Amino acid sequence: MALLDSAIWSEKIFLNGWRAGSAEPTDILEPATGNVLERAGLASADDIHEAAQKAAEAQKAWAATKPAERAAVMRRAGQIFEDHAAELTDWIQRETGAIPAKAGLEITVAANECYDASALPHHSMGDVLTSDEDHWSFARRLPVGVVGVISPFNFPLILSIRSVVPALALGNAVVLKPDPRTPVSGGVMIARALEEAGLPEGVFQMVPGGAEAGAALTEAPEIEVVSFTGSTAAGRKVGEAAGRNLKRVHLELGGNNATVVLPGADVAKAASAGAFGSFLHQGQVCMTTGRHLVHESIAEEYVAALQQKAEQLPLGDPTEENIAIGPVIDEGQRDNIDRIVQQSKDGGAKVVAGGSYDKLFYSPTVITDLTDESPAWSQEIFGPVAPVRTFSTIEEAAEIINASEYGLSVGLLGNVGEAMKLADMVRSGKVHINEQTVSDESNAPFGGFGNSGNGSRIGGYTTNIEAFTEVQWLTMRPEIAPYPF
């Protein structure tokens, strides 16, 4: 049977099993064609609160489950993603506008996240502490209880599952609210995989919804930790609400990431890396290369090579063969991209490639002659746009990079020694030497500085244990201690 048989989940949420949500169901639209793929159930604020309550009830028994049993569920879920890869890849393509390579990457990473999570239950969960008292002293890690996850539309499967399965593996229950534009890739796939893998009922709840549902998730008293991935503006609201309710919050937000092309770099290879960094998944990636900083000695050659890449990349329905650029997610996203490009052009910038669209297909765009104030340079575009400026020294490059309010990812292309010097000068959560800015692995810590996040990280054993457990100090004596009272 197909994992995503619509008879199971159509017009339903996953709240102690599949059932209708209290909010009006929504059409799932295919960005490339505008066709309705299916109908998705949506959750109301009341559904979110019920999901949190049910999750809290189920969590205690799940936390008491033997580590080997929790690990086995995670392994089975990973295998399910691999076994149903073709079916799931097709859905990701149609629902998100992804080309096959991007869709396949999501499935591969999802499986790896499950396999990595399967190791967590047997990981060390504390420390033996030295003490000047006559007792044993320990710091042990315990599940936080219920974790709330809010995920976006762009890489919906990866950006949901990277928080969901580590939290579950560590003995927590999870309430997931995926973006209502991508409820299948961001939620239904995970619910079905965990359901088939044997996760007990109630431990995982999947409740797609809009802003009202997201607000309820930050307010539900049963939810102790909120893991949010999305825009900086939305992240501020989530952070404020979580802080007001004394919840720990992990915010992975936007970026305006720079790829630096150092003097003497191989221009052809650098332009290939730069094009990938800016145009992968239509630039709808928080790690997208939003700024190309090119040394003045090779800038003209680099722009010409990047322009050629932009003009030759095939644009169209990603389910067709040999397509490199698909549609953006919706009209609102497209119009914001075009606003940034046109305002920059009106301010004196030069569009050397692209700068136009047909329906939701925005052509790969290269733009030069920018200033600090140009919207295409100062704002996160979240579209297939490659803004290019020059620099003369690595000190100047570092100053330009650090002037951004964001600090998520930096790519440094060229001489390794110069790149190492520059890496020590920049404030960024990730630095990639001789790679562009878009990179993610299931065992690597992910997060940024400044307006790219609040200093938290997701990914890797120690990082995930820190994110989804609490520390308890435990002491023990052979008999009751003597006291002076």
Q: Record the tokens describing residue 475, joined without a space.
A: 């002491």
SS3 of 62-110: the string is: HHHCCHHHHHHHHHHHHHHHHHCHHHHHHHHHHHHCCCHHHHHHHHHHH
Q: Among candidates 120, 136, 10, 145, which has minimal Cα distance to 68?
A: 120
Contacts of residue 95, Cβ cutoff 8 Å, sequence gap at least 6: 28, 30, 37, 156, 182, 184, 185
φ, ψ dihedrals at 245, nearest 5° = -100, 15
Q: In whole angstroms, what is the distance from residue 289 CA to residue 255 CA?
A: 9
Q: Which of 265, 177, 270 is nearest to 229 (CA)?
A: 177
Number of neighbouring beta carbons within 10 Å of residue 230: 22
Is 286 assigned a catalytic role? Answer: yes
- Rounded Cα distance between 259 and 278, Å, is 10
The catalytic position among 95, 219, 222, 252 is 252
Which residues, at least 6 apart from 348, have a Cβ–Cβ distance to it below 8 Å?
369, 371, 374
Neighbours of 82 (CB within 10 A): 15
For this structure, is 466 an active site residue?
Answer: no
> Residue 85 carries which side chain, given as an amino acid letter?
A
The 10 Å Cβ neighbour count of residue 479 is 5
Instruction: Name the burial class of residue 213, with classes exposed (0-12), middle (13-18) and buried (19+) by CB atoms within 10 angstroms of its CB.
Output: buried
- Choosing from 286, 380, 435, 441, the catalytic residue is 286
Contact at 8 Å (CB) between 460 and 443? Answer: yes
Cβ 297 vs Cβ 267: under 8 Å: no
Catalytic residues: 252, 286
